[in-house]
Amino acid sequence: MSKLISPHGSDTLRVLLLDGKEKEAELKRAATLPKLVMSSRETGDLIMLGIGGFTPLDGFMGHDDWKGVCEGMKMSTGVFWPIPITLSHDEKIKTGTEVCLVSGETEEIMGTMKVTECYEIDKEFECKHVFTTTDPEHPGVKMVMAQKKYNLGGPVKVLSESYFPTEFAGIYQRPSESRKIFEERGWKTIAALQLRNPMHRSHEYLAKIAVEVSDGIYIHQLVGQLKPGDIPADVRVNCINTLVENYFDKSRVVTGGYPLDMRYGGPREGLLHAVFRQNFGCTHMIIGRDHAGVGDYYGPFDAQEIFHKLWDGALECKMLPIDWTFWCFKCGGMASMKTCPHGKEDRLFLSGTALRKALSEGGEVPAEFSRPEVLAILREYYAGLKEKVEVKLHGHATGETKKKK
């Protein structure tokens, strides 16, 4: 009998990925069906459906689920879900039609779908509820607005995990794999650390706090697509592996990667992170400053506040809230607002945005910002860039608490 937390909304993982003869037969059938080309975000969502990361979903959402998730974070079944998982198309498709799902990035057949609904949506309505803004500069809003005219709902069969198992071998994991590792180690309480940036000292501090209060930590990094200017997954993987190798007790750490694109959805995305971390076997989700945020669209602790507003039974994976962290020169180490008595002038606020800005502009990076081995990898990456994207330093990266109005 497993001692791990149950998957979200289910006693078992809902795995939609086919293999063996069943996969071979479906691949042949898929080649005869009308093709529907998916965006990078949709492809990542399909893979998560396949590996059980989006348990208990059986496919892309229909209208009632889409609307219920947008308005009240609840599907028509009553199951909690914070962000719509949808597939768009530019033409109206008759219900009952079966389609072949193809990656727009690799042109590979990724799965099949039986269309049970074809519906139009109010994109501004979705953005207002999910991202709390309709500003076209917000990357999540931009993603929704770029969707095609119709949403298609229906169950899927998944036939591929794309390039993730090979390109990120040793990092990319299915929920069944992370759960197996946790079982083998005898862990019952596991905290997840979400990463889309290389680990600086603040991330390291959060991780080590979590290790102190749980059996182990799952450093779980996004290996899908990011916005321009963010550090690519292969570089980040190298940085994180180097940090874990040199500065962590490896018996207390598991590293993994998942195939989603970043939505930059702030509080709602923080909840989604907790949902699928529960499916990966985690009991707690670390939520620190500006979790999954972008620019100044969200307050520094909006993601913590939304967890407190959940109804009983919505989500078994609990929040592990951690206050604003920084390097304090008077304390002589990492500290937080709860532990440090000194003023802002004594503190070095650490953020991925500030680190990227300094490195991209060839500026000095204080030694307290990140471990020397990590900085060496990042400097080599930035030195080799032919085209550089301007990195804007938003307020939360410098210790400000105001959000964009």
User: According to the model, what pLDDT value does residue 386 have?
Assistant: 75
Strand partners, 366: none
Please compute the mean of the pLDDT values over residues 175-201 and round it to a whole number: 94
User: According to the model, what pLDDT value does residue 245 have?
Assistant: 95
Do both 332 and 354 map to the same domain? yes
- How much is the pTM? 0.93
The range of the structural domain enclosing residue 357 comes to: 170-258+264-405
330 is a domain residue: yes
Helix (H) or strand (E) holding 158: strand 150-158
Inform me whether the pLDDT recorded for 401 exceeds 70. Answer: no
User: Cα–Cα–Cα angle for 103, 233, 382, nearest 5°?
Assistant: 125
Instruction: Determine what percent of the chain falls in helix, strand and coil, rounding each to the nearest 5.
Output: 35, 20, 45
350: confidence class by pLDDT, cuts 50, 70, 90: confident
Inform me whether the pLDDT recorded for 344 exceeds 90. Answer: yes
Do both 343 and 199 map to the same domain? yes
Inform me whether the pLDDT recorded for 366 exceeds 90. Answer: no
Three-class SS state of 335: strand
254 is a domain residue: yes
Do both 102 and 146 map to the same domain? yes
**How confident is the prediction for the chain on average, in pLDDT?**
93
| CATH number, domain with residue 33 | 3.10.400.10
User: According to the model, what pLDDT value does residue 361 have?
Assistant: 81
Please compute the mean of the pLDDT values over residues 41-61 and round it to a whole number: 98
162: confidence class by pLDDT, cuts 50, 70, 90: very high
Do both 110 and 212 map to the same domain? no
| CATH number, domain with residue 341 | 3.40.50.620
Do both 250 and 188 map to the same domain? yes
Do both 271 and 384 map to the same domain? yes
The single-letter DSSP state of residue 82 is -
Of the segments 44-53, 234-243, 388-397, which one has the largest average pLDDT value?
44-53
Token pair recorded at residue 135: 């500003």
Inform me whether the pLDDT recorded for 147 exceeds 60. Answer: yes
- Strand duo 325-328 + 333-336: pairing: antiparallel
Inform me whether the pLDDT recorded for 155 exceeds 90. Answer: yes
User: According to the model, what pLDDT value does residue 125 have?
Assistant: 98
311: Cα separation from own chain's centroid: 23
Inform me whether the pLDDT recorded for 118 exceeds 60. Answer: yes
53 is a domain residue: yes
Three-class SS state of 8: coil
Inform me whether the pLDDT recorded for 1 exceeds 70. Answer: no
389: confidence class by pLDDT, cuts 50, 70, 90: low
Q: Tell me which residues are annotated as active site.
A: 196-197
Do both 122 and 252 map to the same domain? no
pLDDT, tens digit, 9 for 90 and up, residues 250-261 = 999 999 999 999
User: According to the model, what pLDDT value does residue 158 have?
Assistant: 98
212 is a domain residue: yes
103 is a domain residue: yes
Token pair recorded at residue 11: 């006693």
Do both 157 and 178 map to the same domain? no
Do both 51 and 110 map to the same domain? yes
User: According to the model, what pLDDT value does residue 111 have?
Assistant: 98
What is the percent of the chain with per-residue pLDDT over 70, rounded to a whole number? 95
Inform me whether the pLDDT recorded for 390 exceeds 70. Answer: no
Instruction: Give the total number of structural domains in the chain.
Output: 2
User: According to the model, what pLDDT value does residue 318 have?
Assistant: 98
User: According to the model, what pLDDT value does residue 2 have?
Assistant: 80
Inform me whether the pLDDT recorded for 396 exceeds 60. Answer: no
The single-letter DSSP state of residue 29 is H
Inform me whether the pLDDT recorded for 400 exceeds 70. Answer: no
User: Cα–Cα–Cα angle for 206, 212, 213, nearest 5°?
Assistant: 95
Token pair recorded at residue 237: 């993987």
Give the residue, 232 or 176, on which the prediction is more confident: 176
Do both 153 and 298 map to the same domain? no
Q: Pick from 272, 267, 218, 232: which is nearest to 389 by CA? A: 232
User: According to the model, what pLDDT value does residue 228 have?
Assistant: 79
110 is a domain residue: yes
Q: Residue 398 is which amino acid? A: T
User: According to the model, what pLDDT value does residue 367 have?
Assistant: 86
Q: Which of 124, 144, 162 marks a domain boundary?
A: 162
User: According to the model, what pLDDT value does residue 199 have?
Assistant: 84
388: confidence class by pLDDT, cuts 50, 70, 90: low
Q: How many CB atoms lie within 10 A of CB 318?
A: 16
Q: Which of 162, 194, 226 marks a domain boundary?
A: 162
pLDDT, tens digit, 9 for 90 and up, residues 219-249 = 999 999 887 778 888 898 999 999 999 999 9
Q: Which of 130, 162, 194 marks a domain boundary?
A: 162
391: confidence class by pLDDT, cuts 50, 70, 90: low
Do both 217 and 297 map to the same domain? yes
Q: Pick from 240, 353, 221: which is nearest to 296 by CA? A: 353
Please compute the mean of the pLDDT values over residues 53-67 and round it to a whole number: 98
7 is a domain residue: no
Do both 193 and 50 map to the same domain? no
Inform me whether the pLDDT recorded for 331 exceeds 80. Answer: yes
Inform me whether the pLDDT recorded for 122 exceeds 90. Answer: yes
pLDDT, tens digit, 9 for 90 and up, residues 8-41 = 999 999 999 999 999 999 999 999 999 999 999 9
140: Cα separation from own chain's centroid: 13
8 is a domain residue: no
